[in-house]
Amino acid sequence: MAEGSNKTYKVPIGPVHVGLKEPITAWLDVDGERIKDATIRPGAIHRGIEFMARDRNPIQIIYLAERICGICSFAHIVAFVRAIEDAAKIEVPARAQYIRTIVLELERIHSHILWAGVACYTFGYDSAFHLGMILREKVMDVLEALTGNRVNYGTGTIGGVRRDITPTVEKVIREMIDLYRNEFSIFYDVVTQDPIAKARMRNVGVLSREDAVTHCALGPTARGSGLRVDLRWSSPYEAYCDMDIKPVVPQDHTGEVYGDVFDRFLVRVLEVYQSIEILEDALAGMPAGELMWEPKLPKLLNYLKQADGTGWSSIEAPRGDDTHAVRLTAGQENITWWKVRAPTYANAVSWPIMFRENDLADSPLIINSIDPCISCMERMVVTDRSSGAEQVVTKADLIERCRDKTRRMMGS
């Protein structure tokens, strides 16, 4: 594909299967290896979960909400039950709020370590990837010890939580904190010391502060562009009300903001340390008391049937603000409507800006940098628009292109 011949090619990537609203195809217009423009088309696996929910009561929807995403499943149910609690005016016991906070932070650690590992894998830093996978096992073990499951924890419910933090579990969490304090530094070293990692991520996929504001970017994607936004800080909920949390932004650590893949990497790595501190604070400050507002399910369902109102909750999920809104109508057992807005729904609007004027070989890194789950990314098709010729490139080829670029930079 010759560059500068005024012939652009269209390269579709995807569909990318990444959760409820996140299966995304990216059509890239390329001139040689340069990406000139991008069009995003989600929807490949829109499953109509909100439509299905109209036939279910709030308790049943918890289990539906939990299956929106495999990684931030707890974030989705906390957002959902908080919206119900807002609509039905339910107060959650303080101990339950602390346990929710602990699980949310465990989930954030799990998500960010996975992301950091996969980002390293994408540009060919396999040893860091494997180390990431080993490290992530610990937090998965802790989640299993606490909830019985490694994903879909079944732990949150309306008005509280269903599992307590026992002294045994607390001991396991503290062991994990000690482990991460000592071992997680490899990722910090990748960010600050490895010249190749820096060369691959610096000035790649830039999202300016202004574009991040106008395109409503969220979470680490927005913070990577220097925006001090974090719902745990700007509108504290659950146990975050008792903690002094500051949004992690690159300018506080490196003195400058590029808004590139590197800055988004840096923000996530530093947020793992922040989550460790939040876990310690939450364990230290956890009050005694009830776990649920109403432990008897039939009684709770009966109360919810009488409730009437609209509830809204936005919480800080690992990838950014996760918003759920729900409507309850008095006399109806099922909810009237439910709206879910996963963070990638908002962050994907910024993708075309990040792609422009970058190399095709950097596209996997850029897609990864907003942290969608590209678990089912299958293949891409390279189309020569002038002749109509098509060439199918597999995901493996794409990754290989990305890794080749690293090798070229290393001169081998």
Partner 1 sequence: MKPRCADYTDEIMSPEKVLSLLKRKFRKFSDTMELRDYRGGAGTDVGYQTLWVQVEKSKFLDLIDLLRELDFLHFHITSGDDIGEAVQLNYHFSLFRCAGRGKRLGVTVTVDVPKDDLVMPSLWQWIPGIEYSEREIREMFGVDFDGLPNKALIFLPEDWNEDIKPWRRDEAGPKPEDIRELS
Q: Which residues bind partner 1 (CB under 8 A)?
A: 21, 41-43, 46, 48, 50-51, 86, 94, 97-98, 209-210, 213-217, 227-229, 231, 233-244, 285, 287, 310, 312, 314, 321, 323, 325, 327, 336-337, 339, 341, 345-346, 348-349
CB 343 within 8 A of CB 219: yes
Map residue 321 onto helix, strand or coil: strand
Q: Are 132 and 119 in contact (CB under 8 A)?
A: no
Q: Shortest distance, CB of residue 327 to partner 1, whole angstroms?
A: 6
Nearest distance from C-beta of residue 70 to partner 1, angstroms: 19
Smallest separation (angstroms) from partner 1 to the CB of 86:
7
Whole-angstrom distance, CA of residue 94 vs CA of residue 292: 10
Q: Give the nearer residue to partner 1 in terms of CB position, either 285 or 295.
A: 285
Helix (H, G, I), strand (E, B) or coil at 302: helix
Tell me whether residue 88 or residue 139 sits nearer to partner 1 (CB atom): 88
Closer CB to partner 1, 215 or 264, in the complex: 215
Phi-psi region of 91 (alpha: psi -120 to 50; beta: other; left: phi over 0): beta
Q: Cite the DSSP H helix spans in 228-260.
A: 231-234, 251-254
Three-class SS state of 340? strand
Least distance in angstroms from the C-beta of 47 to partner 1: 10
Q: Which DSSP state fits 292?
A: B
In terms of Cβ atoms closer than 10 Å to its own Cβ (0-12, 13-18, 19+), residue 262 is buried
Nearest-CA neighbor of 238 among 174, 146, 156? 156
Contact 304, 330 (CB under 8 A): no
Q: How far is the CB of 406 from partner 1 (least distance, A)?
A: 33
Within its chain, how far is the Cα of 64 from the centroid? 18
CB of 41 to partner 1, least distance (A): 8
Residue 160: closest CA among 201, 213, 99? 99
Smallest gap from Cβ 237 to partner 1, in A, equals: 5
Judged by beta carbon, residue 210 or residue 333, the one nearer partner 1 is: 210
- Shortest distance in whole angstroms from residue 352 CB to partner 1: 11
**Using CA atoms, how far apart are residues 293 and 84, in angstroms rounded to an integer?**
13
Measured from the CB atom, the residue of 96 and 402 that comes closer to partner 1 is 96
Q: Which is nearer to partner 1, 34 or 209 (CB)?
A: 209
Cβ 32 vs Cβ 2: under 8 Å: yes
Question: Of the two residues 15 and 132, which places its CB atom closer to partner 1 in the complex?
Answer: 15
CA atoms within 13 A on the CB side of 232: 24
If the CB atoms of residues 32 and 352 are measured against partner 1, the closer one turns out to be 352
